[in-house]
């Protein structure tokens, strides 16, 4: 779904969300309450510049609209794969973005992520995955990398990975797998505004993803192993 269409479904025709290149931002009104929207589009690669642009809006929201909820609209091909960005400390810029979002949460801003197109690895860790909860549209795609590239790097047989990905959500791209592993709290299907309204009310503040993954059967060990560490003599 393109972002304009999404914004109209969520916030109506006069949504006030603006694109600056691949960067989306705006203060919108959702059912009479103000909401900060931050996002990217065109499968934007997240480089230093785009990470800082997002962080700026989070900082401004904290300063000017204390407690105002923040919605992150996610469409990224992952981190910018450039030497220049590495030199400039892209990991630091992304950590900064993540820490801004995290601090906003701690200061009472409800932060939700929505993968409306695609989400990949680095670009996802400091957006949807650092929010209170992350949601996705059913047609969205989430992955670390494509199977052929994964096969090349791990030197595993692509046919084997393909076969594995059918039986084990750990390997395969797809929002359903992320739901079953707890990484995505739920899919938003049909009444998107209704789904957002619900999420603003009932998204957890604590990190429940490991427990969700265990309950849904997609990630059996994470919660259990972490608990064993807590219990160990």
Residues 110-169 that bind other proteins (CB under 8 A): 121-122, 124-126, 129-130, 142-145, 150, 153-154, 156-157, 160-161, 163-164, 168-169
Q: Which is nearer to other proteins, 2 or 64 (CB)?
A: 64
Instruction: Label residue 107 exposed, middle or buried (CB < 10 Å: 0-12, 13-18, 19+).
Output: exposed
Q: How far apart are CA 51 and CA 196, in angstroms?
A: 24
| CB contact set of 97 (below 8 Å; sequence gap of 6+) | 51, 52, 54, 55, 58, 126, 127
DSSP letter, residue 207: -
Helices then strands, counting H and E runs in the chain, come out as 11, 11
Instruction: Give yes or no for residue 69 binding other proteins (CB under 8 A).
Output: no
Binders in 169-198 for other proteins, by CB under 8 A: 169-173, 177-178, 181-183
Residue 185 has which token pair? Answer: 């709290």
Instruction: Give yes or no for residue 56 binding other proteins (CB under 8 A).
Output: yes
Instruction: Label residue 140 exposed, middle or buried (CB < 10 Å: 0-12, 13-18, 19+).
Output: buried
Q: How far apart are CA 201 and CA 198, in angstroms?
A: 5
Q: Which is nearer to other proteins, 103 or 215 (CB)?
A: 103
Q: How far apart are CA 204 and CA 137, in angstroms?
A: 19
Minimal distance in Å, beta carbon 29 to other proteins? Answer: 25
Instruction: Give yes or no for residue 215 binding other proteins (CB under 8 A).
Output: no
Which of 7, 10, 62, 72 touches other proteins (CB under 8 A)?
62
Minimal distance in Å, beta carbon 170 to other proteins? Answer: 5
Instruction: Give yes or no for residue 64 binding other proteins (CB under 8 A).
Output: no
Residue 42 has which token pair? Answer: 């065109």
Instruction: Give yes or no for residue 59 binding other proteins (CB under 8 A).
Output: yes
Which of 41, 79, 118, 203 touches other proteins (CB under 8 A)?
79
**Based on C-alpha coordinates, what's the Rg of the chain?**
18
Minimal distance in Å, beta carbon 194 to other proteins? Answer: 26
Number of residues that bind other proteins (CB under 8 A): 81
Binders in 83-102 for other proteins, by CB under 8 A: 83-96, 98-100, 102
Instruction: Give yes or no for residue 48 binding other proteins (CB under 8 A).
Output: yes
């Amino acid at each position: 779904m393109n972002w304009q269409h999404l914004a109209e479904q969520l916030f109506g025709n006069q949504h006030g969300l603006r694109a600056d290149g691949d960067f989306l931002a705006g203060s919108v009104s959702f059912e009479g309450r103000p909401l900060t929207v931050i996002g990217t589009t065109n499968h934007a690669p997240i480089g230093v510049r785009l990470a800082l642009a997002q962080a700026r809006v989070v900082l401004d929201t904290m300063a000017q609209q204390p407690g105002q909820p923040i919605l992150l609209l996610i469409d990224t091909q992952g981190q910018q794969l450039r030497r220049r960005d590495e030199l400039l400390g892209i990991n630091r810029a992304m950590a900064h973005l993540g820490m801004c979002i995290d601090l906003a949460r701690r200061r009472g801003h409800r932060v939700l992520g929505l993968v409306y197109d695609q989400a990949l690895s680095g670009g996802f860790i400091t957006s949807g995955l650092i929010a209170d909860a992350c949601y996705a549209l059913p047609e969205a795609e989430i992955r670390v990398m494509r199977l052929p590239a994964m096969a090349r790097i791990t030197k595993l047989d692509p046919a084997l990975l393909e076969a594995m990905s059918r039986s084990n959500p750990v390997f395969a791209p797809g929002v359903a797998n992320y739901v079953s592993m707890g990484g995505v709290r739920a899919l938003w299907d049909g009444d998107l505004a209704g789904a957002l309204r619900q999420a603003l009310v009932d998204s957890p503040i604590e990190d429940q993803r490991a427990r969700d993954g265990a309950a849904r059967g997609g990630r059996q060990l994470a919660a259990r192993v972490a608990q064993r560490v807590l219990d160990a003599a």
